[in-house]
A and B are shown apart, each in its own frame.
Chain A
């Protein structure tokens, strides 16, 4: 099925552990995004990639790194997880004027 695929769906980390959230899209979209969603705060942009090989910071980039491996894949890495990074993470892709397509999310808990 065409769309945005995120893995894993759920993850529990201990403070200080690292992990990478994976995202892949098969719609040949140029732009890809990582958001976090917290209660009462809506979705906030962490990083985005306008095209293969480019990445830019969003509103809340601290504590995260990203890699645009190729046109399909955009990964988000937490080098040293903190409880403040407990959230639901969404990946999205965009093609010009046609708006966003979202993945189903990764629910991350840092204890």
Chain B
């Protein structure tokens, strides 16, 4: 499974866009990029995922570089409730394994 690298922490002002980077330089062709977040001591919450095209849903946007070696999760208007640990995960598409490998994630602190 590909390994991901994320900055350990980031700050963002409330109302501004939060851009969370993730490096996954060893990603292979059939591996998807998934983002989850975990608000203190709760279960991880699914945010978004993508293969190679940019994706957007009601929570966030996911920008994947053309070479797929890195991606950025964008929260367009961060609120205090977005303060959480954000995990970037790479997982294979074929085989449909249920095993997610979590790194240390990025702790995002949204400040008023």
A, B from the same assembly:
no
